[in-house]
Amino acid sequence: MFGIDNLCWMSANATVEASRLVEFLILQTGMTAFGKAYYRNETDLVPNLAVKLEALRDEYMRYGTEKCSSVLREYHSAVETITDILLEKGKIKAEEIWDIYKSAPRVAQ
């Protein structure tokens, strides 16, 4: 169940999880914002790895935020409906959120 009391916790938890996954993706792909860095094991020496990882994490987070904003714009009516239900009832089930999302009209981007 999702409720008003859990929204802040969910947002913080989602942010932490997104950051963890982005850092894993960065190390798996071996890419940085400034070129390629190969990270096979902990003994590999990559100059300025921390700075490069931070820059790429920022880029991935910007991209993720852009994608989320795009989805929110596209499904604006679903977001409004879900918000109204949360404000009215104080909670909403995941199945109900999914039903609202699937039946909502999409706004072309």
Residue 27 belongs to a domain: yes
Residue 72 belongs to a domain: yes
Residue 109 belongs to a domain: no
Straight-line distance from the first to the last Cα atom of the chain, in angstroms, rounded to the nearest whole number: 31
27: three-class secondary structure by DSSP: helix
pTM above 0.75, yes or no: no
Quote the domain boundaries for residue 46. Answer: 2-103
For the chain (109 residues), the mean pLDDT of every run of 10, in chain order, is 50 66 66 50 56 77 84 87 91 90 83
Residue 75 belongs to a domain: yes
Overall domain count for the chain: 1
Residue 43 belongs to a domain: yes
Enter the tokens of residue 62. 């910007």
Residue 56 belongs to a domain: yes
Which residue blocks in the chain are alpha helix, DSSP H? Answer: 7-29, 49-74, 76-89, 94-103
- β-pairing, 2-3 vs 35-36, is unpaired
* pLDDT, position 55: 78
Residues in Cβ contact with 44 at an 8 Å cutoff, skipping those fewer than 6 apart:
38
